[in-house]
Structure 1
Amino acid sequence: MSNSFNSKDHPHRRYNPLLDEWVLVSPQRAKRPWQGQQEEPLTSVQNQYDPECYLCPGNLRINGVQNPRYEGVYVFDNDFGSLLSEGVSFDKTEDELFQMKPERGINRVICFSHDHSLTLPEMSVEAITNVVSVWKEEYQNLGELDYINHVQIFENKGAIMGCSNPHPHGQIWAQSSIPSQVARTQQNLKNYYDKHGTTLLSDYLQREIEINERIILENKGFVALVPFWATWPFETMIISKKPLNNLLAFSHEDQALLAQILKDLTTKYDNIFSVSFPYSAGIHQAPTDSESHEEWHFHMHFYPPLLRSASVKKFMVGYEMLAEAQRDITPEQSAEILKKSSIIHYKNR
């Protein structure tokens, strides 16, 4: 072997301890020309009110329900939810190869603002703090239902991520089972906690702060970074500095600090290509199954699809579907791009 390994030049695999899986990193492929699919960039919405929008205040939704003339945050049960709250009788089958069981739950939509034209980076910290406060309330209220064992809070931003309405909003799915990916994460977090007596993300975050190579933003309560094992080109994660296992442990100051780092991170995203940056983002926190869950540590994932421009996205196909996740640009390279991106929105320069 004539060459010494260099993570900036040589293919390698990185381990994700949250999911107990590996990702293939191929930095040499970042130089390849692109002649594939070009996406339409996500354009900013200009109108503060759209009479045709199902989520704007006072408008009639498709099912005939009229939205109140709300201001700020507005939450309602999804008109076309993926889960139903009614329980059903069921005779369990013993067939090992054809297992199924009913799933019960609630789907809600959370409008971040009455203003149709705003996205998180263009909202004030105070307005985003109100969103975080409602997340906390919904997590508590839904989690107190005896049949709800997990509450998933998330946002799909942009048509490229399957978002069917540009009005600023997210979703909440609460269900009786703990979803597969969350269950895998929980098992890995618990294995680590049982072995070390500390949360996995506390120790990981301390090491990231010491290395200071992939950290994007930091304030008194939270750190935003590109994970060492990031799969998506500009994937990031927000981690609480204190090992808070869910939103109920947040003080009002914590909520404001999370709002600040959310605003700054999403602004950096928009500024990379001077476009409203698409992503799927969501909170991972303790299940609501009445267990103590000392192993859980609040974190929030951001999975943006864009790769090298506003019109070129990363595809998870072929090898990724059949073998394991793969990325070209290294996490350190994407962290450097995000670090250099301004926290002053490009529209306000």
Structure 2
Amino acid sequence: MTSDLPHRRKNLLTGDWVLVSPQRMKRPWQGEVKMAQPASRPAHDPSCYLCPGNERSGGVTNPHYDGTFVFPNDFPALLSESESASTGKLFEEQPARGEARVICYSPDHSMTMARMDDAARRMVVQSWCELSAELGARWAHVELFENKGAMMGASSPHPHGQVWAGDFVPTIVEREDVQQRAQFAAGGSPLLGDVIAAEIASGERVVVKNEHWLVIVPHWAAWPFETLVLARTPVARLENLDVEAREGLASVLGKLLCAYDALFDTDFPYSMGWHGAPHGAGDDTGHWRLHAHFYPPLLRSAEIRKHMVGFELLAETQRDLTPEAAAERLRELVK
């Protein structure tokens, strides 16, 4: 039974705690109100750096692509060369090498993943899998992600994602690796496999599922309508998905993202990303289960978002709406 009183929940993937305060949903709001994203965009924008045939800011002209289009990021966060100055034991530095690419989902400037059909989404999924395999062959970790919408810092409204691959395992992925490895050593079963079984049995935080995938609002969710997309079979990396699982992913993403858009009748913003076993670990992946995180900022409407400030920055993450209530609202919108 879900409590309506303040309580804390543990994030099983990171070990962090989240403060849940359901009673705060009743508070009045006189804070920031953001303009909602435009309901429609043209199929081609001559000023967009990512549309087919347009010139990017670096001077390169995009080809007249007709599906997904992947190219090296013109302003990458990681380069093939790196350096760090030795500053002694107190101020530690490490070199960081890698590469980054941009993934245009469609030539259509207005075609978000929510608006695509399953066949078009399948092309995006295929790109993810191919990039994970290619970059994972030479880098320790491959992070595929999307920032959707100006509210989440997207530099272009053209639907696109990114991939950053590096010679190190990033902090959050490393923490997930530690937590999953510890659970596997203690109980002999993958942590997220246990979560999947428990969530299916309960059903109260399930948003949508099919034969290959389960989408839940996790028990420890930080963002109001955060979701976790979980592979139901023991798959550790994107490239390990078979044809049926890739098709199932395209389908389940369509249902989730359409529910997001319907929630506040807006082009729903979010940051999302895939977490799979770090490629630097080789075949040591028995404790891992492939999953994707969706972190949408909207709280009460298309104009009012959750701010991670104050207590969240200085103490620990806090949320108002319970994960169970969030899951129920999303579940009702799945078609």
1:20 is matched with which residue: 15, 35, 59?
Answer: 15
1:208 is matched with which residue: 180, 188, 199?
Answer: 199
Letter paired with 1:69: H
Displacement of 1:290 in angstroms is 4.4
- Give deviations 1:118-143, integer Å, cap 9, x for gaps: 10110010111111111111111111
Contact in 2 for aligned 1:45/1:166 (Cα 8 Å): no
Q: How far, CA to CA, are the matches of 1:44 and 1:150 in structure 2? A: 36
Aligned to 1:61: 56
2:333 is matched with which residue: 312, 321, 341?
Answer: 341
Letter paired with 2:165: A
Where in structure 2 are the equivalents of 1:192-207 lying within 5 Å?
Answer: 192-207=183-198
Displacement of 1:319 in angstroms is 0.4
Aligned to 1:80: 75
Displacement of 1:87 in angstroms is 5.1
- Give deviations 1:57-81, integer Å, cap 9, x for gaps: 1111111111111011000010011
Aligned to 1:3: none
Q: Report % sequence identity.
A: 47
User: Which secondary structure does the structure 1 equivalent of 2:299 belong to?
Assistant: strand
Where in structure 2 are the equivalents of 1:13-52 lying within 5 Å?
Answer: 13-52=8-47
Contact in 2 for aligned 1:129/1:255 (Cα 8 Å): yes
Q: How far, CA to CA, are the matches of 1:108 and 1:298 in structure 2? A: 21
Residues 1:294 and 2:286 are matched in the alignment:
yes
Aligned to 1:180: 171
Contact in 1 for aligned 2:207/2:330 (Cα 8 Å): yes
Residues 1:245 and 2:236 are matched in the alignment:
yes
Q: How far, CA to CA, are the matches of 1:59 and 1:85 in structure 2? A: 27
Contact in 2 for aligned 1:50/1:116 (Cα 8 Å): yes
Contact in 1 for aligned 2:144/2:161 (Cα 8 Å): yes
1:327 is matched with which residue: 300, 310, 319?
Answer: 319
User: Which secondary structure does the structure 1 equivalent of 2:114 belong to?
Assistant: helix
User: Structure 2 length normalisation: TM-score?
Assistant: 0.97
Displacement of 1:247 in angstroms is 1.0
- Give deviations 1:131-185, integer Å, cap 9, x for gaps: 111111111111112xx10000000000000001110100000011100011011
* Structure 2, unaligned runs of 5 or more: none
2:257 is matched with which residue: 259, 266, 283?
Answer: 266
Coordinate RMSD, CA, aligned: 1.2
Displacement of 1:91 in angstroms is 6.3
1:121 is matched with which residue: 114, 121, 124?
Answer: 114
- Give deviations 1:197-251, integer Å, cap 9, x for gaps: 2110001110001111000101010011100010100000110111200012101
Question: Cα gap change, 1:329/1:87 in structure 2, threshold over 3 Å: closer, same or farther?
Answer: closer
Contact in 1 for aligned 2:69/2:106 (Cα 8 Å): yes
Counting matched residue pairs gives 334
Aligned to 2:305: 313
Residues 1:10 and 2:1 are matched in the alignment:
no
Contact in 2 for aligned 1:45/1:116 (Cα 8 Å): no
Contact in 1 for aligned 2:256/2:334 (Cα 8 Å): no
Q: How far, CA to CA, are the matches of 1:164 and 1:87 in structure 2? A: 25
Displacement of 1:325 in angstroms is 0.3
Displacement of 1:96 in angstroms is 2.1
User: Which secondary structure does the structure 1 equivalent of 2:280 belong to?
Assistant: coil
Aligned to 1:347: none
Q: How far, CA to CA, are the matches of 1:275 and 1:79 in structure 2? A: 30
Aligned to 1:143: 136
Aligned to 2:96: 103
Q: How far, CA to CA, are the matches of 1:43 and 1:276 in structure 2? A: 8
* Structure 1, unaligned runs of 5 or more: 1-5, 344-349
Q: How far, CA to CA, are the matches of 2:196 and 2:38 in structure 1? A: 35
Q: How far, CA to CA, are the matches of 2:246 and 2:77 in structure 1? A: 29
Q: How far, CA to CA, are the matches of 1:341 and 1:43 in structure 2? A: 21
User: Which secondary structure does the structure 2 equivalent of 1:136 belong to?
Assistant: helix
Moved more, 29-38 or 285-294: 285-294
- Give deviations 1:294-347, integer Å, cap 9, x for gaps: 11100110000000111000001010001000000100111111011143xxxx
User: Structure 1 length normalisation: TM-score?
Assistant: 0.93
Contact in 1 for aligned 2:25/2:321 (Cα 8 Å): yes
Aligned to 1:275: 266
Q: How far, CA to CA, are the matches of 1:335 and 1:290 in structure 2? A: 34
